[in-house]
Structure 1
């Protein structure tokens, strides 16, 4: 049996319609009929500017007070898996960045926003 999952509710996400990083609102979790909402479920987030929705799999989202959430900032490595809403440190840019999305149609690329370096596409899970 799978355990219930509670994703972050108001993350900053990259809206592919606005082409900006905006605050987003969790609309709902979509699970198959009668199933528990877990990491295999899909979650809809709406953009606070254009109100269009984007869907993310639970395995890509940071969990509220869960096993994924940590006070420690991880150093970026292409071999690791990162969660939307997680803060990471990139040695080349010498700064922390926030994971704000996944590249459309690609599980292997994340979108990370850095204050100085801007929005960057980084690979993961290789």
Structure 2
């Protein structure tokens, strides 16, 4: 099971209209939580759900409005860096969604690794 914790960028489609979003996911065991910021008028939402193997399920609740909850299901790619699936609002609407790990997060991880390597080299040379 991949650890989905981190920053994600994604898109969901409602009636063929795409909406981009940024997500911060936190996974502890099979539990998934986090926040999503839509690039639309609904804004920020909280999520809670589960991860089982490569299957993801969560419920999205917008903070700024009293919207109906939105159910998301998805499948994580084998490398753990991409999720595709479907969202639905019971009895109202549904559509596809996808997300991938944010390049910013990957760049931050790479920068941290470089800094640690540099610090180790300095410590070794100082001895």
TM bucket normalised to smaller: 0.3 to 0.5
- Name the one with the larger strand percent: 2
So what's the TM-score if we normalise by structure 2? 0.33
TM-score, normalization: structure 1? Answer: 0.33
- Larger Rg, first or second structure (1 or 2): 2
